[in-house]
């Protein structure tokens, strides 16, 4: 499902709660000693706040051909060992990198889902993916995974998109300081 405006209710956030969570995440970011720690803290907090199984943050490599995991939380090492995502083989990630938010309510009913067997083994039922945008350029993908079928509502999409903006800001600050040991 492509989300220009999300609908349905499954895991609602009220805007007041959203702002308190964002403030808490900003505090966590400020206390993290380096970029890697910052991204790991964001992934961990996203899982807890959104009540999801896991979260990954992937960045484009220098050649803009693959998405590499730079932070993850809640997913098994076996699942994460799938390796990089090759953009030309993943139509969904190409659309996300064009700035689209994509929600997959039930992975078993979608033809476009790659690594379906890996997802099933991991117990994943639904996925929400948002682009990491820095200025006018999409630099990566922020993705959350659930174990139950979930139709992500507009507040969930808004929250995750806002956190993606925080990730991009942290990456930009690290790049400005010349401290980017991650693919970017």
Higher pLDDT: 7 or 58? It is: 58
For the chain, give every domain's residue range: 2-175
CB-based contact 116:107 (threshold 8 Å): yes
Positive/negative CA dihedral, 82, 85, 89, 90: positive
Q: How confident is the model at residue 58, as a pLDDT?
A: 94
Report whether pLDDT(72) > 90.
yes
- Other C-beta atoms within 10 Å of 99: how many? 12
Q: How confident is the model at residue 11, as a pLDDT?
A: 38
What residues pair up with 135 in beta bridges, in sequence order? none
Phi, psi angle pair for 83, to nearest 5° = 95, -170
Average pLDDT over residues 113-134: 91
Distance from C-alpha of 59 to C-alpha of 55, rounded to nearest angstrom:
14
2-175 placed in CATH 3.40.50.1000: no
Cα-Cα-Cα-Cα dihedral of 159, 46, 33, 28, to 10°?
A: 60
- Of the pLDDT bands very low, low, confident and very high (cuts 50, 70, 90), residue 24 is confident
- Of the pLDDT bands very low, low, confident and very high (cuts 50, 70, 90), residue 7 is very low
Q: Which pLDDT tens digit goes with each residue over 79-107?
A: 998 867 889 988 899 999 999 999 999 99
CB-based contact 129:67 (threshold 8 Å): no
CB-based contact 53:35 (threshold 8 Å): no
Q: How confident is the model at residue 157, as a pLDDT?
A: 93
Report whether pLDDT(168) > 50.
yes
Average pLDDT over residues 168-182: 69
Closest CA to 51 of 139, 128, 132: 128
Give 122: exposed, middle or buried? Use CB within 10 Å, 0-12, 13-18, 19+.
Answer: buried
């Amino acid at each position: 499902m492509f989300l220009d405006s999300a609908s349905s209710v499954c895991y609602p956030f009220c805007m007041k709660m959203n702002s308190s969570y964002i403030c808490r995440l900003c505090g966590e970011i400020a206390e993290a000693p380096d970029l890697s720690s910052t991204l790991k803290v964001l992934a961990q907090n996203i899982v807890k706040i959104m009540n999801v199984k896991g979260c990954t943050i992937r960045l484009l490599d220098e050649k803009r051909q693959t998405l590499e995991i730079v932070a993850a939380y809640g997913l098994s090492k076996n699942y994460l060992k799938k390796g990089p995502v090759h953009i030309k083989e993943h139509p969904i990630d190409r659309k996300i990198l064009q700035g689209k938010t994509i929600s997959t309510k039930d992975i078993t009913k979608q033809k476009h889902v790659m690594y379906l067997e890996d997802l099933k083994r991991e117990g994943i039922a639904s996925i929400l993916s948002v682009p990491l945008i820095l200025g006018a350029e999409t630099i990566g993908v922020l993705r959350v995974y659930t174990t139950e079928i979930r139709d992500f509502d507009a507040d969930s999409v808004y929250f995750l998109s806002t956190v993606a903006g925080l990730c991009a800001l942290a990456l930009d600050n690290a790049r400005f300081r010349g401290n980017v040991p991650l693919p970017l």
